Amino acid sequence: MSANGRPETGPATVARPRAADSRPTGPDNRRTSTGSVLEVENLSVALRTSHGIRRAVDGISFSIGAGEILGIAGESGSGKTLTALSLLGLLPLGARTSGSVRFEGRELLGLKRRQLREVRGKQVGLVSQDPATSLHPLLRIDVQMTEHVRAHLGFSKDKARQRAIEMLTAVRIPDPETALFAHPHQFSGGMRQRIAIAMALACEPRLLIADEPTTSLDVTVQAGILRLLDRLRRERGVSVMIITHDLGVLSSISDRICILYGGRVAEYGVTPAVLGTPRHPYTEGLMRSLPGASAAGAAMVPIQGAPPSLDSMPGGCAFHPRCEWARESCRTTVPALRSLDDGRQLACDVDPLPARPAQVSPVGRS
């Protein structure tokens, strides 16, 4: 979900298979506390609206291990971007948070603004949705890439500029010495996205949050950005949290995936399991409506209706007005997130898709 409620749009799905042994194994795919870079427990975010206080994020829990890529997926309004912004204290004025967010064992919720500035950029990097707007149009790239490096690491101007050149080289910007003295409008969308990633990694953070890193890019550039993120996590050990509505992107790169709907977790587990054999009706609906994921000759089946707004959130299971398997109890009872035998977590009391192969295959995994 974008912070201002704008609809999220993106390009066609792409996929790039990865070796199966690069993923977590075992029935319980959740990282232990000692191996987690980020642990989020029961996170809630309440916003003030014209109709009063409304929960935009409601009891979300997940973790990210060292060198792991976690995908956060869902339609517009599901709480994806708001979840990411809450981790760094970048919420709108008046927002209220509760729960726990621990980064390398340190609780982030409740930190003072000065303490959060020590985390932002230095320990946790953020790549915003649109580099065309997140990069300042009037400042040269060298100014934008060195300011936070000098502030966080105490580098001299020359040393910070050398670090900027190294990072532009790492993300494969041609002629980085010349690129430093250019302005954002002089680069293509894909190059701007690479520059935004280089900026986020300049202080060598342990965690990179990438919000819609491939939105508005063509499929060729998309594939290049995904290869870049995968290479950086392998070579530098960076943990990555990718926020997107594009399941094709996540099927090609993420180790685990967390499906959000109405500000709550619907399904959470290793990516091949969640996308290959979805158990939640919402995940199944997303897969059936995904271009290129349906079986040969089968038509796409869109999910009927639209995601709820904050001021019209239904009672019980938020997905019940759009669910073909909904029962009367779904209208009144919020389903608890429970662990299944295969290690995934599911929030559906009906569970109409048990031990059933998906009718569609994840993009790139058929």
Q: What is residue 307's predicted lDDT score, i.e. its pLDDT? A: 92
CATH number for the domain formed by residue range(s) 1-10+42-116+207-218+237-366: 3.40.50.300
Residues of the chain with pLDDT under 50: 1-34, 358-366
E strand or H helix at 227: helix 219-236
Pair 336, 265: CB distance under 8 Å: no
pLDDT in tens, 258-289: 999 999 999 999 999 999 999 999 999 999 88
Q: What is residue 361's predicted lDDT score, i.e. its pLDDT? A: 45
Q: What is residue 140's predicted lDDT score, i.e. its pLDDT? A: 96
Q: What is residue 6's predicted lDDT score, i.e. its pLDDT? A: 36
Q: What is residue 146's predicted lDDT score, i.e. its pLDDT? A: 96
Q: What is residue 12's predicted lDDT score, i.e. its pLDDT? A: 32
Q: Give the Å distances, CA to CA, from 71 to 153, 272, 291.
A: 30, 12, 19
Q: What is residue 68's predicted lDDT score, i.e. its pLDDT? A: 96
How many Cβ atoms from other residues are within 10 Å of residue 362's Cβ? Answer: 26
Torsion, Cα of 87, 92, 97, 102 (10° steps): 10
Q: What is the pTM of this model?
A: 0.84
Q: What is residue 356's predicted lDDT score, i.e. its pLDDT? A: 57
Indicate where the chain has its CATH 3.40.50.300 domain(s).
Answer: 1-10+42-116+207-218+237-366
Pair 259, 303: CB distance under 8 Å: no
Q: What is residue 243's predicted lDDT score, i.e. its pLDDT? A: 94
